[in-house]
Structure 1
Amino acid sequence: MPQPPRRSGATTLLRSPGLRAVVGACCLLALGVGTASAGASPVRAGHRAAANTAPDRAALAPGLINHVLVIDLENEGYDTTFGAHSPATYLNTTLRSQGELVPHYYATGHFSLDNYIAQVSGQAPTMLTKADCGDFATRAFTYVDVLPGTDDPNPTTHPGQVDGNGCVYPAPNPATGSHGAPTIADQLDARFPPNPATHRAAWREYAEDMGNDPARDGGTPDPSGGTDCAHPAVGAPDTAEAATATDQYAMRHNPFMYFHSAIDNRAECDANVVPLGKLRADGTPDPSGHLAQDLADASRTPRFGFITPNLCDDGHDDTCAGVNSEGGHTGGLAAADLWLKHWMPLILGSPAYQHGDTLVVLTFDEADADPSTPGYAAACCFEQPGPNVVAPGDSTFKATVDNAPGGGQTGAVLFSKRFVRVGSVNTSGFYNHYSALRSYEDLLGLHDGGSDGHGHIGFAGAPGLEPFGPDVFNAP
């Protein structure tokens, strides 16, 4: 979700004539506008021509990567985050030297929620999800079903999409044959069934501060503190929208709470949508917290983990209602950088990561959503608008086509001890949230079903969309 115009640092996307041609062609096609001369192959933009053959797979075979951890920060364009004057000094020095910078990674919409949903389901925005399911004029935020919630009848142009408006997507219904809106959690449940006694699954969401105030957040009490699977009743207001001094959890940054397939299975949701954990007085993660417990043992590390810092630590709030990782109230990229400084050593030092079969993806939900920021709504990878909105990046809620096809260039840093060359910069790959989801599915061996019959759900199954290739997995 954007805030009033704040930090300087406009995104400069079009650095060279060749890149201008690639991104320009990409954006035009995302709006359904043809171009006679793109100036560069669309393959460079992460999309090949549709074919009636098996799709391209990620460059690593299943079994080489057994754990994918995704960390989302908030609301910054590439040049702001990775530019020379970025306040994220730890990210831009220590972490960049340990991973691979992917400059041409793009969000798929504005504001926050639609981007989180895209990363786990491939669903394009509804009018409400791209408004964070709220009304910013009245500050009223709701939690309502996507209605009518029917399967889109045009699977070629809108693969795996659900038609309607609302926030909470319907589950697949085998009895009626409806595909609904599955998530990567559903795919993993099918391939790696949860433990029938504990309901522990192959996936987990770690949400910082979730349930610090149970009356605000909802959820089931967690033995380590906070609550699990925190969301209101469907149809009720969302009271976990703005941070408080003691609770900076935002449900809209916890994507699994927007799918009936997750929230309707309460036992599994409670077991797998859990609080992140806290820092000890010395600044290290408390080993009793869920993320620290799980990463201490490779056998407990989930195959897919989504890590959601709170509204201060993800950089969303300029001034924190509570405190950042070092006890101050400074927010923005500086706060996000502090959070990384305290948590990334745990992640990169974990047994699963050190074993070499873990991929860590650190990115942003969207670029700065201020429409005055150049490139704020750029798209790549021939992103399509979906059946429910005409401009995914239009943060002004217009009902007509404008020049806002996507969520802007955010960049990403990827880490793999075995398969990524440390300190490298990937200048050739173009990816977005949909192609990232497609990559996770490929790497984890989710090769059946989906919107394309090859294991890719929603727009992750768009014909010709390219997953992470040898440009990403570039270690010798």
Structure 2
Amino acid sequence: MFTKQSLATLLGGLSLALAQTSSQEYPPLAEILAKQASVQPYSPVSNVKGLAFNRFVNIWLENTDFDVAASNSHLAALASQGLLLKNFWAVTHPSEPNYCASAGGDTFGMDNDDFHQLPANISTIADLFDTKNIAWGEYQEAIPYPGYQGYRYPESGANDYVRKHNPLILYDSVTSDAVRLRQIKNFTTFYDDLAHHRLPQYMFITPNMTNDGHDTDITVSGAWTYDFLTSLLENEYFTNDTLIMLTFDETDTYTIGNNVFTFLLGGALPDTLRGTTDDTFYTHYSVIASLSANWGLPSLGRWDCGANLFSWLAEKTGYVNYEVDTSNLFMNETHWGPLSEDDYSEYYAGWPVPVTEGECSAGNDVLDKVKQTWGSLTATFNYTAPFPYDSRSGNNVGVKYSRTLKDGKVEEGVSE
């Protein structure tokens, strides 16, 4: 006779057996229902002290120009309590390559929102966190069960959950690991983890296609964000030593610079920065670099390697950020690569090679796994630059950047 404990053990075993990489864009409903009943979420916890914060919460909304987002009363009210990053940039269009970049440090030429599976030799932030056993998790609103890999859910009708807004599910190095898959969970599990103090130290939160503004507008996404965060900001367990970032995947207008409305909140934000603005140049890659600097993690050796760090974190590490002349910068396209459809970038079959030698902006070496996989090859791009560019396609070329080091030496560069 099964006890509750033995039944839970059995279900956990089923979860591990069922979790593996899948190429099915639209799994049969019977399979989805079966996994809803058997695949259990995994909620690891850790307490690795960081230099400037102990938990990072990454929340993304959709497709909104900076001025439109800034004029929303709900977002403005939240931003006034924190630090507004006025010079934070998405890295390309459309949505999916930005989400992809947030986890892997590159777009790999992606210029579309298709069903993608990046090979297992491409490392992600999950590999960085695992070097110090830092617990991570994703919370995807309306995902039907932990680690669901389908293109969307439900598979017909109005949009709700979509794979293209789920960064780590795109990578086979995550989906081939049964435990990692179960760390990609829904909002029900988020509130359960919150109540039982099981939140990870890094989390990526994606609202559904209504609440993130993709299928609605900034009025809806702004109101959702305000309702979601106001109660959480009063929860000591959630907010203490926590840095919360609210940003957008991209602008809605493709012909303007891809500068997106972004602000930081939470108990880890220094009091002197609350209610202020920061003009430092940042990109989605700056988040990976800042996470590495905060916890002393290695770099992926891709565009995170040269990315600027959050300014007060940079001061703590001694790193000097670059000033970037954005008057000639748009960040509206990506470099060539194997995930291109020859739309906003050029198709090329080879996977870009990361840098494997030297220090990156976080002050650390490149991940050993990256060096082992790619160390015999020459880096494809200048990944030590503070923004992505590609001389072959002319993407983001002709942009000047410079910094003055503490010894007075001036370093200058131009993307060409």
State TM-score, norm by structure 2.
0.59
1:99 aligns with one of 76, 82, 85: 82
2:60 is the alignment partner of 1:72:
yes
1:349 aligns with one of 230, 234, 249: 234
Once residues 190 and 291 of structure 1 are traced to their aligned partners in structure 2, the CA distance between those partners, rounded to angstroms, is 24
Per-residue CA deviation, residues 393-450 of structure 1 (Å, 9 max, x unaligned), is xxxxxxxxxxxxxxx010201013243346523243110101121112221331x363
Once residues 301 and 425 of structure 1 are traced to their aligned partners in structure 2, the CA distance between those partners, rounded to angstroms, is 29
Aligned residue for 1:191, secondary structure, equals: coil
CA contact (8 A) 1:207 1:307 kept: yes
2:124 aligns with one of 168, 183, 196: 183
The one of the two structures with greater contact order (alpha-carbon pairs below 8 A, sep at least 6) is: 1
Once residues 192 and 292 of structure 2 are traced to their aligned partners in structure 1, the CA distance between those partners, rounded to angstroms, is 25
Give unmatched runs, 5+ long, in structure 2.
1-48, 317-416
1:431 aligns with one of 275, 279, 282: 282
Once residues 340 and 267 of structure 1 are traced to their aligned partners in structure 2, the CA distance between those partners, rounded to angstroms, is 30
Once residues 149 and 313 of structure 2 are traced to their aligned partners in structure 1, the CA distance between those partners, rounded to angstroms, is 39
Aligned residue for 1:460, secondary structure, equals: coil
2:105 aligns with one of 122, 144, 152: 122
Q: Which amino acid aligns with 2:96?
A: L
Q: Which amino acid aligns with 1:459?
A: W
**Greater helix share, 1 or 2?**
2
CA change 1:340–1:120 in 2 (3 A) is same
CA change 1:473–1:334 in 2 (3 A) is farther
Q: Which amino acid aligns with 1:306?
A: F
Instruction: Provide the identity percentage.
Output: 28
How far off is 1:312 after superposition?
0.5
Q: Which residue of 1 aligns with 2:117?
A: 168
CA contact (8 A) 1:208 1:249 kept: yes
1:445 aligns with one of 296, 300, 303: 296
Q: Which residue of 2 aligns with 1:109?
A: 92
CA change 1:260–1:369 in 2 (3 A) is farther
CA change 1:241–1:113 in 2 (3 A) is farther
Once residues 347 and 243 of structure 1 are traced to their aligned partners in structure 2, the CA distance between those partners, rounded to angstroms, is 33
Q: Which amino acid aligns with 2:146?
A: D
Q: Which residue of 1 aligns with 2:312?
A: 470
2:153 is the alignment partner of 1:230:
no
CA change 1:116–1:242 in 2 (3 A) is farther
How far off is 1:241 after superposition?
9.2
Once residues 120 and 184 of structure 1 are traced to their aligned partners in structure 2, the CA distance between those partners, rounded to angstroms, is 6
Aligned residue for 1:120, secondary structure, equals: helix
Once residues 471 and 438 of structure 1 are traced to their aligned partners in structure 2, the CA distance between those partners, rounded to angstroms, is 10
CA change 1:450–1:423 in 2 (3 A) is closer
How far off is 1:243 after superposition?
7.2
Paired residues, what number? 267
Q: Which amino acid aligns with 1:256?
A: L
CA contact (8 A) 2:138 2:184 kept: yes
Once residues 125 and 108 of structure 2 are traced to their aligned partners in structure 1, the CA distance between those partners, rounded to angstroms, is 17
Q: Which amino acid aligns with 1:244?
A: G
Q: Which residue of 2 aligns with 1:62?
A: 50
Give unmatched runs, 5+ long, in structure 1.
1-60, 134-142, 144-166, 172-179, 194-201, 212-226, 233-237, 277-288, 318-330, 379-407, 452-457
CA contact (8 A) 1:100 1:415 kept: yes
Once residues 265 and 471 of structure 1 are traced to their aligned partners in structure 2, the CA distance between those partners, rounded to angstroms, is 32
Once residues 117 and 257 of structure 1 are traced to their aligned partners in structure 2, the CA distance between those partners, rounded to angstroms, is 9
How far off is 1:100 after superposition?
1.1
